[in-house]
Amino acid sequence: MFRRLLHAQTDPPPARSAPRGRFSPHPALVALVALVLTAFSLAAPAAYAAMSRDAAAAPAQVLTWTAGDGYMGYTSAPTTAVAGPATIVFENSAATGNTTGMPHTLTFDTSNPDYNTDVSLNIQASPSDSGGGRHTAEVTLTPGVYHYYCAMPGHMMSGELTVTAAPGNDTTAPDTSASVSGTKDASGNYVGSATVTVSASDAESGVSKVEYSLDSGAYADYGAPVQVSGVGQHTVAFRATDKAGNTSAVKSVSFTVVAAPPEDTTAPETSATVSGTKDASGNYVSSATVTVTASDAESGVAKIEYSLDSGAYKDYSAPVQVSGVGQHTVAFRATDKAGNTSAVKSVSFTVVAAPPEDTTAPETSATVSGTKDASGNYVSSATVTVTASDAESGVAKIEYSLDSGAYKDYSAPVQVSGVGQHTVAFRATDKAGNTSAEQSVSFTVVTAPPQDTTPPDVSASVSGTKDASGNYVGSATITVTASDSGSGVAATEYSLDGGPYLPYSAPVAVNRAGSHTFLYRATDKAGNTSTAKSLTLTVVDSKPPTDCPETDDRSTVFVGTVNTGIPNRVTTNGCTINELIEDHQAWASHGVFVSYVEKLVADLRHEGVVDQREAGDIKKAAGRSDVGKPHTARTEP
């Protein structure tokens, strides 16, 4: 019996190297066959075939390792074997030279991909164990190289076992590949020269030779990477043959070699940037990072160097972080592959200490906006706007949750259109990681009412003292009412005697004697305006007004002899527009009259008697009139 002990390998497996220790060569039946075939060449094929059949039928090969008192190498170990079943014998006993009772192990390495890893074997043997130090194991070997070693502390025992394929079984050609290396230009051509490296492997009998051909020339043995320096296009073909005589298919790599450019005498271009968190004064808080870049369009950048605060120059390989509080200067330069060094440049900056730690969470608030109904519910949708502020480190993010859902990042006002009650919770986190307490706003969204397309209902009534003829004595008061069952009344307007529509806010008193026409209309909140309605009435007074400058009841406004076509309306003091113009009195000059009219129409515009267009027409008529001009003969209309 043998024991397999699984334990930690305190000594790592050594790199692949030549076997160590004293190794006794194993008798080789194949060598004997070869000798016989050499002596009797005519009978070689038949004899070789017979021997191969006998070898295939023979018991599995026995591979023996022995150990003694030494810990720098096995006493004996095989170096070669043939693929297939094998009996591994490991003996560490007095018979093999162990007089001290020292234990040893035989371990096959399964962790190194450079070796075969398909046999897991770990045998520990000592003269005093139950097997007397001799143990065996049955394994199956495959072509390749196995690495073995002693897995006990202080031992330096290791070696390699090379396994070849059984004779006559290798019919597979080697695997081949090639790579091209060298300095490339922007077009991918090799500058000056290119180096072709060919590799070949054969898992069975092993590679016998590798050959290459340059630009369709004769094949030559490949022993080292091939350097091609001739300018132009090139093709390197390659193939390999294994020890069983199998030759791989020809493969090739193609490339172009170009002449080296003229000598580079221009230094690299350099620049640097400083990054980090800045305060309001532009100083870097806690630290600043300097990033240096360099470029060279000819030979290329070989190295970049920097100096901090006039110190010695150092190689630059990564951004330089400067954390010392105070002013700093980083100088930098670069050297190209032709040896040209750039002029020194520098960047200066100031690092300040970080402010006290921020432990205060942000302030948060939210508002809800939208169209409300009479009950305060939001019609169709509501929009929630969240704001946050942090006077220390600043706000890093705002989050919200709708109706107890998962929190989401807030980046714009949240519109909620689902009908029903809703709650929007919100919170904010500052750059120091402090998160505010959760707050919330609640509201209700209701369905929008049907669209309002019906204008308001509007009516008017007249009150006052009437005479026997139904005329109103002294004055009449007109009251307008409007209603809208849809969106509601937005505005009511009226027009008296052809004047502009004015907002209606209270009953309108008409106290100018004469016939009057009163128009009225209303508009609802949906923009529907009712058709204008009208009523007519007559006001009589036995005592006509005596406080007007003159009497002028013409139907349109005249300025001198210029007819504006504007209705001669009654103003708020009971006088007509014509009576207030006073174009029949003597004026000191035409300019004085025009200035008077301009002031008058401004007052009438303010009172709502005329609109902006009509006011402008009256001022233009005053300018065209001859009122106030000297030596003017006027004819009364």
Distances (CA, A) of 606 to 446, 493, 565, 599, 612: 43, 16, 21, 11, 10
Domain check: are 312 and 243 in the same one?
no
Q: What is the DSSP letter of 573?
A: T
Return d(Cα 355, Cα 344) in angstroms, integer.
34
Return d(Cα 53, Cα 169) in angstroms, integer.
12
- pLDDT at residue number 542: 53
Which of the four pLDDT bands, split at 50, 70 and 90, describes residue 543?
A: low
Backbone angles phi, psi at 556, to 5 degrees: -125, 165
Domain check: are 49 and 119 in the same one?
yes
Residue 550: inside a domain: no
The residue with greater pLDDT, 552 or 369, is: 369
Quick one: which H or E segment has residue 36?
A: helix 29-39
Decide the pairing of beta strands 84-92 and 326-336.
Answer: unpaired
- Write the pLDDT tens digit of every residue in 418-427: 999 999 999 9
Query: Domains in the chain: how many in total?
Result: 6
pLDDT score of 206 more than 70: yes
Return d(Cα 626, Cα 632) in angstroms, integer.
7
Range from 320-334, 400-414, 427-441, 584-598 carrying the lowest mean pLDDT: 584-598
Return d(Cα 167, Cα 48) in angstroms, integer.
10
The 3-state secondary structure of 484-551, one letter per residue = CCCCCEEEEEEEECCCCCEECCCCEEECCCEEEEEEEEEEECCCCECCCEEEEEEEECCCCCCCCCCC
Decide the pairing of beta strands 232-242 and 251-258.
Answer: antiparallel
- pLDDT at residue number 575: 86
Bridge partners for 430 per DSSP: 395
Domain with residue 397: its CATH number is 2.60.40.10
Instruction: Supply the range of the domain harboring residue 286.
Output: 269-352
Domain check: are 529 and 591 in the same one?
no
Residue 5: inside a domain: no
Domain check: are 378 and 334 in the same one?
no
* Arithmetic mean of pLDDT over the chain: 87
The 3-state secondary structure of 40-60, one letter per residue = CHHHHHHHHHHHHHHHHHCCC
Domain check: are 94 and 192 in the same one?
no
Residue 7: inside a domain: no
Task: Answer whether 455's CB lies under 8 Å from 530's CB.
Answer: yes
Q: What is the mean pLDDT of residues 359-363?
A: 95
- pLDDT at residue number 139: 94
Return d(Cα 355, Cα 358) in angstroms, integer.
8
Domain check: are 58 and 102 in the same one?
yes
pLDDT score of 585 more than 70: yes
- pLDDT at residue number 631: 59
Return d(Cα 500, Cα 438) in angstroms, integer.
57
Domain check: are 229 and 340 in the same one?
no
Domain check: are 254 and 312 in the same one?
no
Which of the four pLDDT bands, split at 50, 70 and 90, describes residue 480?
A: very high
- pLDDT at residue number 9: 35
Mark which of 237, 258, 279 sits at the end of a domain. 258
Residue 23: inside a domain: no
Which of the four pLDDT bands, split at 50, 70 and 90, describes residue 168?
A: low
- pLDDT at residue number 482: 97
Range from 65-69, 252-256, 564-568, 569-573 carrying the lowest mean pLDDT: 569-573
Count how many Cα atoms sit within 13 Å of the Cα of residue 343 in the half-sphere of its side chain. 1
Which of the four pLDDT bands, split at 50, 70 and 90, describes residue 167?
A: low
Return d(Cα 31, Cα 77) in angstroms, integer.
19
Domain check: are 321 and 300 in the same one?
yes
Task: Answer whether 83's CB lies under 8 Å from 166's CB.
Answer: yes
Domain check: are 299 and 425 in the same one?
no
- pLDDT at residue number 382: 97
- Quick one: tokens of 477? 């008061």
- Write the pLDDT tens digit of every residue in 301-358: 999 999 999 999 999 999 999 999 999 999 999 999 999 999 999 999 999 998 888 8
Mark which of 198, 223, 258 sits at the end of a domain. 258
Q: What is the mean pLDDT of residues 390-397?
A: 92
Residue 6: inside a domain: no
Mark which of 238, 258, 278 sits at the end of a domain. 258
The residue with greater pLDDT, 163 or 89, is: 89
pLDDT score of 195 more than 80: yes
Q: List helix spans (H) across 439-491.
A: none
Q: What is the mean pLDDT of residues 271-294?
A: 95
Q: What is the DSSP letter of 615?
A: H
Domain check: are 130 and 219 in the same one?
no
Q: What is the model's pTM? A: 0.30
- pLDDT at residue number 450: 83
Coarse DSSP helix, strand, coil percentages of the chain, rounded to the nearest 5 percent:
10, 40, 50
Nearest to 272 by CA among 287, 290, 295, 288: 290
Residue 19: inside a domain: no
Return d(Cα 16, Cα 160) in angstroms, integer.
8
| CA angle (227 as vertex; 224, 230 as ends), nearest 5 | 155
Residue 480: inside a domain: yes
- pLDDT at residue number 142: 86
Return d(Cα 227, Cα 161) in angstroms, integer.
35
- pLDDT at residue number 21: 36
Tell me the three state secondary structure of residue 257.
strand
Q: What is the mean pLDDT of residues 561-565?
A: 92
The residue with greater pLDDT, 36 or 84, is: 84
Quick one: which H or E segment has residue 552?
A: none
The residue with greater pLDDT, 475 or 544, is: 475
Domain check: are 425 and 403 in the same one?
yes
Q: What is the DSSP letter of 310?
A: T
Nearest to 169 by CA among 143, 187, 192: 143
Return d(Cα 547, Cα 550) in angstroms, integer.
8
* Look-up of token digits 């160097």: 305
Return d(Cα 105, Cα 124) in angstroms, integer.
4
The amino acid sitting at 17 is: S
Residue 470: inside a domain: yes
Backbone angles phi, psi at 381, to 5 degrees: -160, 165
Burial class (CB in 10 A: 0-12, 13-18, 19+), 435: middle
Report the Cα 229 to chain-centroid distance in Å. 47
- pLDDT at residue number 425: 97
